[in-house]
């Protein structure tokens, strides 16, 4: 869309705004698409809402129980590499 193209929409009595179909198609925003709304000095910014809430590593460490001896970094790297090779071999 050219920056000079001006599209106009109307706010309904329920506070709803219909986005022009050209924009929805270009952004691939179908029905049910969750959008994040941000108030900016220039107006309102719509962005795709993140699929998951932001988390910090300390929030999720220890979520899954583990019994046994801890793995070394080398063992973890080897396990990841083995799984990547296994998945690549399927293709």
pLDDT in tens, 22-44: 999 999 999 999 999 999 999 99
- What is the distance between the terminal CA atoms of the chain, rounded to a whole angstrom? 38
pLDDT at 3: 56
Tokens representing 35 are: 């959008």
Strand ranges for the chain from DSSP E: 35-40, 43-48
pLDDT at 1 over 70: no
Measure the CA–CA gap between 46 and 38, rounded to whole angstroms: 7
Measure the CA–CA gap between 17 and 9, rounded to whole angstroms: 7
pLDDT at 4: 60
pLDDT at 5 over 90: no
Q: What is the mean pLDDT of the chain?
A: 89
> What pTM did the predictor assign?
0.52
How many helices (H) and strands (E) the chain has is answered by: 3, 2
């Amino acid at each position: 869309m050219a920056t000079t193209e001006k599209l106009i929409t109307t706010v309904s009595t329920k506070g709803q705004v219909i986005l022009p179909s050209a924009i929805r198609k270009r952004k691939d925003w179908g029905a049910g698409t969750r959008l994040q709304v941000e108030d900016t000095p220039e107006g309102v910014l719509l962005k795709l809402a993140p699929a998951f809430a932001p988390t910090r590593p300390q929030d999720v460490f220890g979520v899954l129980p583990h019994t046994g001896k801890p793995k070394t970094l080398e063992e973890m790297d080897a396990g990841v590499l083995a799984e990547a090779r296994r998945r690549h071999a399927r293709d």
